[in-house]
Structure 1
């Protein structure tokens, strides 16, 4: 792949506020993949879309979107249809699988276990570990890099996904350690992170993820953002 074919910007956005962000008991009766946005979630996505429009400067955008309803609705509410040449549904960008219909009390107990065991390696009883998501994100990156080689490769790429998936994408891209990943918070609903191509054709994040524990990043980890 020629260096000049690499996109100028790779934007990541978490879905807007969902019904589950307001009331987790919805997981007991609605499949995770079918949980919709709230009215506020649509508003958050519209506001984020206006910011992304400025970022993309009117240029075409290639989109990869999680097949979960809240991600698809976020994409619709961004209001960027006129810029989007290709919007590809990408199951590997889905949320971490926790269970099917969830037992709220059991999930709360498992979340506490995960905090002590480690978010990267803890596997939910009927679902995935963070490392499982890391593996599927890694295979997605291979696909995305092949797409960069096509003659119509755009200068802008947008991933509409989920908080954990965003963090693991960046972990894989920048080769962050598990220890560093464990300190990072999820972005807020409809919050973005943008990988910006530098003159040396490497990428840097427009801003770091917030950290919830004290851990000084290594020089390599710190070099990932502007």
Structure 2
């Protein structure tokens, strides 16, 4: 028997920021404040056009430049001003930040093995563990949902944040390998009602030209 929600769902559209030059180079950004490249700006504009008519009442964003610029561009299309949510920043990658994935693997082989193996306690030597990131991201996600009962909102975030949220909504562990895409400027819909979360759609790229990057490891 299918349970019917007793309240209207709150629907949250999660948008990954547009492409940056560091995405294209597979360089780990973390909380280093890198801006969008030309492709990324075009992607942000396309996301804004796509979301017109979606009944969006509020717009939130990580305050890092690549997300914030994406949100401002989407906001211009939706006539909304983004609200900063630092809790939705990308993961802090500690000694990995600024390195390409290949450089990180060569310089920090033990740490990279822990990262690649999704060790949920590994924190990149003064970075952030998956467990710590899970707590900050899901806490803010639930606060946003509580603030907008029965409404549709947009949150512009980062690849690592989307990785956390997908697992949270589906009830999957932090340690399992990723089985979903996280393309730049991809659109992802989740919903919550009566304390339950559901994934409606994931990794939509119909609004983008072919080739949106998913440069993240599994």
Give the Å deviation of 1:120. Answer: 3.6
In the alignment, is residue 155 of structure 1 matched against residue 151 of structure 2?
yes
TM-score, normalization by structure 1: 0.71
1:37 counterpart residue number: 36
1:16 counterpart residue number: 18
2:91 counterpart residue number: 96
2:139 counterpart residue number: 139
Q: In the superposition, relative to structure 1, how do residues 77 and 163 fare at CA in structure 2: closer, same or farther (>3 Å)?
A: same
**Does the 8 Å contact 1:49/1:77 carry over to 2?**
yes
Count of paired positions: 198
Match of 1:65 among 39, 61, 64: 61
Structure 1 ranges of 4+ moved more than 6 A? none
TM-score, normalization by structure 2: 0.73
2:7 counterpart residue number: 4
In the alignment, is residue 107 of structure 1 matched against residue 110 of structure 2?
no
Distance in structure 1 (CA, Å) of the matches to 2:87 and 2:144: 12
Match of 2:72 among 57, 73, 76: 76
**Does the 8 Å contact 2:16/2:186 carry over to 1?**
yes
**Does the 8 Å contact 2:60/2:71 carry over to 1?**
no
**Does the 8 Å contact 1:53/1:80 carry over to 2?**
no
1:177 counterpart residue number: 173
Residue 125 of structure 1: SS of its match in structure 2? Answer: coil
CA RMSD of aligned residues (A): 3.6
**Does the 8 Å contact 1:196/1:206 carry over to 2?**
no
- Segments of structure 2 that go 5 or more residues without pairing to the other structure are 205-213
Looking at secondary structure, tell me which structure has more helix per residue: 1
1:127 counterpart residue number: 127
Distance in structure 2 (CA, Å) of the matches to 1:11 and 1:177: 22
- Segments of structure 1 that go 5 or more residues without pairing to the other structure are 214-226
Q: Indicate the larger mover: 167-176 or 112-121.
A: 112-121
Give the Å deviation of 1:173. Answer: 2.8
